[in-house]
């Protein structure tokens, strides 16, 4: 059952930093809520370290397959440029349009 | 047959009637679209209805009339979870960030369903990017449980399960990352199967957690699920995690299982850690009764200790957010989906952050931030690394169990359908709904949920879960169909026959 105590590691500053890493802008109210939620969640899931001793190998994939290759030829599922651009919010002359990469401060 | 009768038929029965010419696909499809028009304003299982369904059905009828040899499910309606991309209907994965997005290609399971002649009726509702256990995290509003419209239909695939339970379709496609097919089946009195990891292609399934996701069937009978798995399973070179195995027919396994012979001498393991505290009385009662039924038919019940299962939910909620935070990085406002430009413009970084703020719902943000934390420098080993070790320990628990038994059994979920809104503000309580289903995803093994009664205290459906070793999906269909035959014999018909009538325009809330 969930413990109610929250993790001391999760502060609003940590959440603000994570939101920058994750590229999600968050309002102050969202940061407050997420700090509390994450604190509770982390205190519940941190127990994985109790049994994860150094002798246990990590499993990244449930049924690992090795060397999944294909012939080095054009596949049968290649999108045309038109298809690739079909969902883009903005395009110009066959290219994706993005805003400035660098801001004034850079 | 009346339109109502057509919507009550199993896919297997429809298949026979379509083949014999007793009914047409156009009639069948019309009956289901009519049912959707009648009840979906209350159930809200669908996000989009296929405007061309009638046309597709007519083409199947024409091909059949021309003497073409068609597969067993040709002409049978199918609902498609919105996580699967489709060229003729929008694919949103339940998110505003993909509102109205049209995929330039079909998911492999969709392409295979079309090739088999199934008639896509529409796209079903789900928790945003499959993150949730109740569909309440859908950006398009929750689905309501047809058994009680004030309750959740499970999640993330609540739309697919509710559509099947409400007779809007006999078959639906779902995806199961931590129980998103099996838990909705449990709370809606339907059947749901998570196949072995890699048994069914995920090409065109909008990825949540790539080491856990698996696509599978939803239906009202074990045989119907088997018929659909036979259509969608098998190697796909577009998915590099797709297993190259040849699979036996799951429908044949279900038919064989229904004779009950499979239960003689079958060793059924009951996991100590997946019962007891936290499990609702009626759920436990029906589980115990089902075990007694199996035992009476010659099965042997063996208690199994799986000491690391208690760490499964914790490991899952590290691995899933970590993988999701990476998979969802592609929603960057450049190639597809929403773009929100902050007032006065901004760099691509600002646009991306503003887009993701506006386009993602609270649960998606919560999990991306959590995943970013679990993967961040200084915490990676303690969290993500440890969770991957727990995964090894859980696989070892399963290996040890399957050296002693043929299948494992547990209640499919700890409780019956809870009320909409009840757990929405408590993420940890919501996460614990998946305690019974998560271990199978972590280990990559197959699981099935079969209805095994109504909880006496609230009259709501309950399911039993069976799990088998990886690649032994057919064993689950045999055992699931055997139990289904036993309980239906007791009830004098399927569980859905006891469902309350949904009436058009019946107001709720």
Find the mean pLDDT for residues B474-503.
Answer: 96
Find the mean pLDDT for residues B150-163.
Answer: 98
- Asked whether residue B1 carries a pLDDT value surpassing 80, the answer given is no
Name the percent of chain B lying above pLDDT 70.
Answer: 99
The answer to whether B194 is a known catalytic residue is no
Q: Dump pLDDT digits (tens) for B51-87.
A: 999 999 999 999 999 999 999 999 999 999 999 999 9
Query: Among partner residues A23, A45, A57, which is closest to B352 by beta-carbon distance?
Result: A23
Find the mean pLDDT for residues B105-126.
Answer: 98
Which entry of B24, B25, B81, B201 is annotated as an active-site residue? B81
pLDDT number for residue A7: 61
Minimal CA separation from A94 to chain B, in Å: 12
pLDDT number for residue B508: 41
B427, A37: Cβ pair inside 8 Å? yes
pLDDT number for residue B509: 36
- Asked whether residue B378 carries a pLDDT value surpassing 90, the answer given is no
Q: Which residue has the higher pLDDT, A94 or A8?
A: A94
- Asked whether residue A101 carries a pLDDT value surpassing 90, the answer given is no
| Residue B345 binned pLDDT confidence (cut-offs 50, 70, 90) | confident
Closest among B486, B456, B410, B475 to B186, alpha carbons compared: B410
| Residue B374 binned pLDDT confidence (cut-offs 50, 70, 90) | very high
pLDDT number for residue B276: 86
Tokens 């929250």 belong to which residue?
A: A6
Find the mean pLDDT for residues B88-113.
Answer: 98
Residue B192's DSSP bridge partners are B218, B449
Kindly identify which residue of chain B lies nearest to residue A105, measuring between CA atoms: B347
Q: Are B218 and B247 in contact (CB under 8 A)?
A: no
Find the mean pLDDT for residues B394-420.
Answer: 98
Number of separate domains in chain A = 1
In a domain, A2, yes or no: no
Q: Output the six-digit token pair for A69.
A: 């290759």
In a domain, A41, yes or no: yes
Q: Dump pLDDT digits (tens) for A35-69.
A: 999 999 999 999 999 999 999 999 999 998 998 99
Find the mean pLDDT for residues B315-336.
Answer: 97
Among A62, A67, A80, the residue to mutate for chain B (most B Cβ within 10 A): A62
Q: Phi first, then psi: what are they for B148, rounded to 5°? A: -160, 105
Tokens 């998915």 belong to which residue?
A: B239
Which entry of B25, B91, B160, B180 is annotated as an active-site residue? B180
Residue B450's DSSP bridge partners are B464
What residues make up the domain containing A17? 12-51
The answer to whether B376 is a known catalytic residue is no
Kindly identify which residue of chain A lies nearest to residue B342, measuring between CA atoms: A25
- Asked whether residue A4 carries a pLDDT value surpassing 90, the answer given is no
Q: Dump pLDDT digits (tens) for B186-241.
A: 999 999 999 999 999 999 999 999 999 999 999 999 999 999 999 999 999 999 99
CB neighbour list of residue B146: distance below 8 Å, 6 or more residues apart: B39, B43, B153, B162, B165, B166, B188, B499, B502
- Asked whether residue B414 carries a pLDDT value surpassing 90, the answer given is yes
Q: Dump pLDDT digits (tens) for B8-22.
A: 999 999 999 999 999
Q: What is the CATH number of the domain that holds A46?
A: 1.10.20
In a domain, A39, yes or no: yes
The answer to whether B221 is a known catalytic residue is no
Distances in whole angstroms, Cα of residue B430 to Cα of each of B45, B48, B145, B150:
21, 27, 17, 17
B369, A24: Cβ pair inside 8 Å? yes
d(CA B152, CA A47): 30
Query: Among partner residues B345, B360, B390, which is closest to A51 by beta-carbon distance?
Result: B390
In a domain, A23, yes or no: yes
- Asked whether residue A3 carries a pLDDT value surpassing 50, the answer given is no
d(CA B225, CA B12): 10
pLDDT number for residue A102: 84
pLDDT number for residue A96: 95
In a domain, A24, yes or no: yes
| Residue A1 binned pLDDT confidence (cut-offs 50, 70, 90) | very low
Give the DSSP H or E segment for B344: none
d(CA B357, CA B346): 15
Domains of chain B: 3-308+393-465+472-503 (3.90.1300.10)
Instruction: Count other Cβ atoms within 10 Å, centred on residue B158.
Output: 38
Minimal CA separation from B129 to chain A, in Å: 16
- Asked whether residue B506 carries a pLDDT value surpassing 90, the answer given is no
Q: Which residue has the higher pLDDT, A2 or A90?
A: A90
Side-chain half-sphere CA neighbours of B5 within 13 A: 6
In a domain, A89, yes or no: no
Indicate yes or no: pTM above 0.90.
yes
Between CA A60 and CA B230, with CA B412 as vertex, the angle to 5 degrees is: 70
d(CA B176, CA B467): 14
Cβ-based contacts under 8 A for chains A and B: 199
- Asked whether residue A106 carries a pLDDT value surpassing 90, the answer given is no
B373, A96: Cβ pair inside 8 Å? no
Secondary structure of B278-311 as H, E, C letters = CCCHHHHHHHHHHHHHHHHCCCEEEEECCCCHHH
Minimal CA separation from A98 to chain B, in Å: 6
Straight-line distance from the first to the last Cα atom of chain B, in angstroms, rounded to the nearest whole number: 34
Q: Output the six-digit token pair for B164.
A: 């099947």
Q: Output the six-digit token pair for B134.
A: 């109740």
């Amino acid at each position: 059952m969930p413990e109610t105590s929250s993790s001391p590691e999760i502060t609003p500053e940590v959440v603000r930093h994570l939101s920058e890493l994750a590229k999600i802008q968050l309002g102050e109210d969202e940061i407050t809520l997420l700090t509390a939620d994450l604190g509770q969640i982390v205190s519940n899931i941190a127990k994985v370290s109790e049994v994860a001793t150094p002798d246990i190998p990590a499993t990244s994939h449930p049924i690992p397959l090795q060397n999944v290759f294909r012939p080095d030829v054009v596949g049968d599922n290649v999108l045309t440029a038109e298809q690739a651009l079909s969902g883009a919010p903005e395009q110009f002359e066959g290219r994706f349009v993005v805003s400035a990469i660098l801001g004034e401060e850079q | 047959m009346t339109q109502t009768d057509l919507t009550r038929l199993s896919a297997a029965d429809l298949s026979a009637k379509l083949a014999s010419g007793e009914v047409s696909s156009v009639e069948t499809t019309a009956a289901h679209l009519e049912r959707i028009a009648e009840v979906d304003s209350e159930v809200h299982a669908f996000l989009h209805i296929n405007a061309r369904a009638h046309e597709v059905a007519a083409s199947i009828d024409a091909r059949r009339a021309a003497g073409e040899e068609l597969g067993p499910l040709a002409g049978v309606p199918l609902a498609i979870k919105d996580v699967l991309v489709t060229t003729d209907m929008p694919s949103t994965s339940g998110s505003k960030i993909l509102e109205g997005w049209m995929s330039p290609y079909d998911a492999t399971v969709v392409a295979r369903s079309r090739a088999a002649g199934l008639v896509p009726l529409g796209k079903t509702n789900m928790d945003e990017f499959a993150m949730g256990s109740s569909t309440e995290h859908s950006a398009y509003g929750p689905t309501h449980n047809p058994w009680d419209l004030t309750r959740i239909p499970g999640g993330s695939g609540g739309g697919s399960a509710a559509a099947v339970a409400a007779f809007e379709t006999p078959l639906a496609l779902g995806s199961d990352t931590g129980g998103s097919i099996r838990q909705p089946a449990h709370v809606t009195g339907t059947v749901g199967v998570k196949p072995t990891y890699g048994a069914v292609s995920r090409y065109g399934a909008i990825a949540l957690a790539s080491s856990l996701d698996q696509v599978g069937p939803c239906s009202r009978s074990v045989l119907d699920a088997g018929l659909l798995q036979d259509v969608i399973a098998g190697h796909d070179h577009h998915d590099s995690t797709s297993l190259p195995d040849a699979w036996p027919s799951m429908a044949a396994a279900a038919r064989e299982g229904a004779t009950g012979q499979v239960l003689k001498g079958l060793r059924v393991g009951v996991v100590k850690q997946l019962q007891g505290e936290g499990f609702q009385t009626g759920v436990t009662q029906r589980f115990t009764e089902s075990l007694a039924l199996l035992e009476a038919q010659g099965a042997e019940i063996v208690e199994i200790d799986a000491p690391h299962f208690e760490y499964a939910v914790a490991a899952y909620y590290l691995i899933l957010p970590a993988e999701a935070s990476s998979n969802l990085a592609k929603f960057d406002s450049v190639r597809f989906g929403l773009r929100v430009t902050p007032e006065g413009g901004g760099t691509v970084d600002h646009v991306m952050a503003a887009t993701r703020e506006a386009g993602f719902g609270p649960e998606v943000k919560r999990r991306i931030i959590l995943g970013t934390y679990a993967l961040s420098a200084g915490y990676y080993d303690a969290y993500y690394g440890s969770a991957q070790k727990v995964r090894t320990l859980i696989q070892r628990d399963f290996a040890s169990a399957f050296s002693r038994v043929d299948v494992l059994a547990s209640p499919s979920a700890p409780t019956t359908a809870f009320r909409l809104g009840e757990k929405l503000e408590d993420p940890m309580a919501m996460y614990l709904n998946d305690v019974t289903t998560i271990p199978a995803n972590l280990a990559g093994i197959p699981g099935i949920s079969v209805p095994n009664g109504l909880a006496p205290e609230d009259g709501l459906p309950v399911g039993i879960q069976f799990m088998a070793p990886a690649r032994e999906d057919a064993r689950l269909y045999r055992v699931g169909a055997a139990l289904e035959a036993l309980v239906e014999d007791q009830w004098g018909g399927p569980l859905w026959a006891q469902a309350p009538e949904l009436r058009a325009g019946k107001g709720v809330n």
